[in-house]
Amino acid sequence: MLIAFFVPGVVYLADAVGTQTEALVIRGLAVGVRIRRIALREVFTGLILGIILGLAALVLVGTIWHDRDVALAVGISIFAASSIAAAIALVLPWLFDRMGKDPAFGSGPQATVIQDLLTVAIYLGAATLLTR
């Protein structure tokens, strides 16, 4: 039950990181900023946010629920999912723009679905490996 309890939180945090990246990428593309200028900063930001949020979750879950394995699974999952969410949120609007489509129109819902599915898979995989 404890593992299931954290699914919404892990998914939400990764989605929040992805949404922020997506907004910056779409804005950058709209004003003519080249994707290379945005990409490195956003991937780095995703990694840093993943580290900060993952460590905070690790400490919080470990302190409140006293389950080291679940705390580790949540922390690692938030790090990995946030990093991947930033990459997906970077690539999808760029692909839409390259195809001549409005990146703001379709990338949001698609990025959210992809990020959510990957986040759940990452979390359940980490929980399976770490809580045996």
In this structure, are residues 81 and 10 in contact, taking their beta carbons and an 8 Å threshold?
yes
In this structure, are residues 8 and 119 in contact, taking their beta carbons and an 8 Å threshold?
no
Write out pLDDT tens, residues 31-53: 998 888 888 888 899 899 999 99
In this structure, are residues 77 and 129 in contact, taking their beta carbons and an 8 Å threshold?
no
Q: Give the pLDDT confidence score for residue 105 in this predicted structure.
A: 83
In this structure, are residues 6 and 61 in contact, taking their beta carbons and an 8 Å threshold?
yes
d(CA 121, CA 89): 18
- 64 — pLDDT class (breaks 50, 70, 90): very high
- pLDDT exceeds cutoff 80 at 25: yes
- 23 — pLDDT class (breaks 50, 70, 90): very high
Write out pLDDT tens, residues 68-81: 999 999 999 999 99
**pTM tops 0.85, yes or no:** yes
